[in-house]
């Protein structure tokens, strides 16, 4: 969305492809570039629960796999949403008498 909430086309100068794939391609480029430019390998990936980007980088260094860490705020949000959804669909445990 652009100004005044009018939908417009956005064109990225360094990415061609679907919007849904942009994050994972960006993560891959960052991890790949770290080896070429700095001779550095990341050992941990700090993510928000979306596994697409992590799946793209977890084996980028071959046998030296990357470990995924998750933001506690996102974990709390997912658990809370699932609990609310569960309780709204199930009958209560209590009863009369």
Query: Does the predicted TM-score (pTM) go above 0.75?
Result: no
Give the range of the structural domain holding residue 39, as residue numbers without chain letter: 24-89
| Residue 97 reports pLDDT greater than 50 | no
54, part of any domain: yes
The SS3 call for residue 96 is coil
Q: Is residue 95 part of a domain?
A: no
Query: Please, are residues 47 and 23 in contact by the beta-carbon 8 Å criterion?
Result: no
- In a domain, residue 94? The reply is no
30-77 per-position pLDDT tens digit: 999 999 999 999 999 988 776 789 999 999 999 999 999 988 887 888
For residue 58, CA distances in Å to 13, 34, 36 come to 26, 14, 17
In a domain, 39, yes or no: yes
Token pair of 46 as six digits: 């700090």
Residue 66 lies in a domain: yes
Structure confidence by residue, pLDDT tens digits, 77-95: 888 888 888 888 887 666 5
Domains contained in the chain, number: 1
Look at residue 49 and tell me if it is in a domain: yes
């Amino acid at each position: 969305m652009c100004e005044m909430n009018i939908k417009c086309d956005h064109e990225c100068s360094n990415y061609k492809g679907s919007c849904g794939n942009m994050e994972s391609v960006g993560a891959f480029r960052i991890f790949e570039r770290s080896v070429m430019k700095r001779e550095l390998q990341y050992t941990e990936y700090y993510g928000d629960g979306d596994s697409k980007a992590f799946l793209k980088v977890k084996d980028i260094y071959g046998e030296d796999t990357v470990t995924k860490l998750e933001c506690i705020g996102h974990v709390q949000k997912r658990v809370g949403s699932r609990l609310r959804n569960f309780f709204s669909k199930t009958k209560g445990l209590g009863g009369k008498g």
